[in-house]
Amino acid sequence: MDFDPEQLRNESEVESKLIAQFLLPALGYGPNDWHQEVALGNIRLDFLAFAIQHQPFVIDGESPLSLTIEAKSPRKSLDGFERRLQQYLSLLHARYGVLTNGRDFRIYCLQDRDLILIFRCTGREIAGKLATIRSTIGREALRNRPHLSEEPTAVAPAIAINPQPSNQLRDKTMKIIAIYHNKGGVGKTTVTINLAAGLRNLGHRVLLIDLDSQANSTFAAGLVKFQFEEDDDLKDCNVSHMLASRDEYPIEQVVRQSQGFNSPEIDVIPSHINLIEKQYKLDSIAASRSRLLGKLRRVTDRYDYVIIDTPPSRNFYAQVGVISSQYLIIPSDLKPFANQGLSNVSSFLQEANEYREDKNLAPCKLLGVLPSKIATNARFLKSTFPKQKAAIANIHHLPLLDSIIYERIALSKSLNNTEEDGDCDIPAPQSIFEFAKSDVSANSSASEFEALIHEVVKKTQ
């Protein structure tokens, strides 16, 4: 995969397009060989890559060499960040570090506590100089070099990264994000499924929960393979059964793996149309509102992210979704009807947070309104769209995410993808990332979701 440094507009795109998609794979690092947004004390690393994997990861004089990569905005000079990189390398016992803003690419080496610039090129030259870069900081190159324990610079204390945590610590690590708007047709399901897929592509363990009786996320994940009611394998074991009992139907029993949706696939708690008929009974039982949250607490060591698709209403299932979440994203096409509903969403979030407060839980944090299904018409983007975005902050007093999901044919085609089965075409929906592997028209949408995913990862740390 190639990239154009002139198309990198911000730090998130440097991270996603240059580092995650292009550089790390080109240097031989697979999805399990590197980690993003690694917190160590009061510092936070953009990327940390390992030549050799160990569980738990421990960085000390005996550990395999690690590579630190720091990404900056294309508008920022790299000169002011060298001292910080030097501190990181000393702390991590890492010999090599990379600084890049997409237009300037630098490799540094730590020698006797001095930071030495050993390679530099422009963003346009990276692809042509990959052989040189690979021979310096490629995974195989680092595997064959001596550890810093053999050199006099390895004197700092050991640091453990991602040790096997207790359930209590892990509960703080698992991020639960609800996708909600009480207005339909704003791209909620499209955002939900592709956010889950993109997080999975970054190596995170992801659980998608469908709380919408329309079951659009369940369908998108490839789990609706039946055409006749007698073949329905979801009606007797879905999310409604989890909510109906405190002890029965744990997540391990209800979870399914998506089919043909993404590579790698994701775990899914499916929905079903029978959620409608069960809603009244569940709604009449106060305890049922916290059952999903209780069952999620039992799997905090299994997932890094839980993404919850909620119905476009203020019903019981929407309450459960927001009550159970630490974070909220509001997809909106920013049109008048969608914007008029934002005050209702705000009050709905406030009610959910009152419930969470009664349960001694931190409030669900609004990550922001996500512009989605946005028209690509140049005149609209120049005149109307800026006014729509300004209204979110100035009128509705809500934060706006930087990422934008535009309305593109490829997004619809990915969800309506089919495959031949004899004389019939059967549904074979795919994530935008999977669809882009066979249809280049999906690349723009895939890039937009990649930017969203990196923004979400940053804002949930």
Q: What is the CATH number of the domain that holds 206?
A: 3.40.50.300
Taking 70 as the threshold, does the pLDDT of residue 270 lie above it? yes
User: With 70 as the cut, is the pLDDT of residue 159 above it?
Assistant: no
Q: Are residues 15 and 89 in the same domain?
A: yes
Residues 253 and 188 in one domain: yes
Task: Give the model's pLDDT for residue 35.
Answer: 85
| pLDDT of the residue at 36 | 86
Q: Does residue 440 share a domain with residue 304?
A: yes
Residues 246 and 151 in one domain: no
Q: Is the pLDDT of residue 177 over 90?
A: yes
Residue 423 pLDDT > 80, yes or no?
no
Please say which residue of 130, 161, 192 terminates a domain. 161
User: Is the pLDDT at 184 greater than 90, yes or no?
Assistant: no
Measured CA distances, 329 to 245, 309, 460 (Å): 28, 10, 11
Distance CA 26, CA 345 (A): 44
Q: Are 147 and 51 in contact (CB under 8 A)?
A: no
Co-location of 323 and 185 in the same domain = yes
Reported as a pLDDT band with limits 50, 70 and 90, residue 171 is: very low
User: Residue 339 has what pLDDT?
Assistant: 81
DSSP H or E stretch at residue 332: strand 327-332
Residues 308 and 343 in one domain: yes
Give yes or no: residues 384 and 452 share one domain: yes
Q: Mark whether 312 and 421 lie in a shared domain.
A: yes
63: domain CATH number?
A: 3.90.1570.30
Last residue of a domain, one of 141, 161, 181: 161
State how many domains the chain has: 2
Q: Among residues of the chain, what percentage have pLDDT more than 90? A: 48
The reported pLDDT for the residue numbered 235 is 78
Cβ atoms 13, 19 nearer than 8 A: no
CA atoms within 13 A on the CB side of 436: 19
Amino acid 357 reads E
Contact indicator for 86, 169 with CB cutoff of 8 Å: no
Residues 237 and 382 in one domain: yes
What pLDDT does 166 receive?
A: 31
Give dist(CA 296, CA 294) in Å, integer: 5
Which residue did the predictor score with more confidence, 35 or 389? Answer: 389
Q: How far apart are CA 311 and CA 86, in angstroms?
A: 49
Residues 260 and 307 both lie in one domain: yes
- Whole domain around residue 72: which residue ranges? 5-161
Indicate if 100 and 198 belong to the same structural domain. no
Can you give the pTM of this predicted structure?
Answer: 0.65
Q: Does residue 163 have a pLDDT over 60?
A: no
- pLDDT tens digits along 347-374: 999 999 999 999 899 999 999 999 999 9
- Please check whether residues 71 and 184 belong to one and the same domain: no
Domain end, chosen from 101, 133, 161, is at 161
pLDDT band of 227, cuts 50, 70, 90: low
Query: According to the model, what pLDDT value does residue 226 have?
Result: 59
Please report the pLDDT score of residue 320 as a whole number.
95
Most confident of the ranges 228-242, 285-299, 367-381, 421-435: 367-381
